[in-house]
Amino acid sequence: MQEVDISRLPDELRAQLAEDYQSGCWKWLGKRTKTGYGYIGLGLKHFGIAEIHAHRLIYRLLMGAIEHNHALHHWCHNKRCCNPAHLLPMTNGEHSRWHGERIRRIKETYGRD
Ligand SMILES: [Zn+2]
Ligand SMILES: [Zn+2]
C-alpha cells in the first residue's frame, strides 16, 4: 500500500483527523453529511458551494487534482476515512455501477437491502 504523509496537511485539518493504526484509516472527527461523509462547511450557500467533502479536499491537497466526473471510492468502506491511500478515483458511472453491483449481491445473498 502507498504511504501518504499526514504531516503534509495543514494543522487545522490534522486536528480533525484521528489515525487508526490498525486499519490505517484517517477518521474525520468533524461534521458529517446525512450520508456519513465528512465535510467542511464553507458558508458559501449563496454561491451554490455550501460545503466540500473532507476526503476529497484532503486527497487534492496530498495527491493532486481529481479528474472531472470522478468519484473517490473508499475501498476501506469507512466513509469517514480521509486517507488518500484508501481512496480510489473512478468515474461517477463506474462508481455507481460498482455500488449497484454490491447492493444487488447483498440483496441476492440476504434477501434484503
Ligand atoms: Zn480508510
Ligand atoms: Zn464508493
> Ligand 2 centroid to 84 CA: how many Å?
13
Note whether residue 67 is domain-resident: yes
pLDDT of residue 8: 94
Note whether residue 54 is domain-resident: yes
**Which pLDDT tens digits describe the chain residue by residue (113 residues)?**
567 899 999 999 999 999 999 999 999 999 998 889 999 988 777 777 778 899 999 999 999 999 999 999 999 999 999 999 999 999 999 999 988 877 677 667 766 44
**Closest residue by Cα to residue 83 from 15, 19, 11, 16:** 19
Q: How many domains are contained in the chain?
A: 1
Q: What residues does 39 pair with on adjacent strands?
A: 53
Q: Do β-strands 39-44 and 26-28 pair in parallel, antiparallel, or remain unpaired?
A: unpaired
> Ligand 1 centroid to 47 CA: how many Å?
31
**Domain containing 15: what range?**
10-110
pLDDT of residue 113: 42
pLDDT of residue 6: 93
**For residue 37, which ligand has an atom nearest its CA?**
2
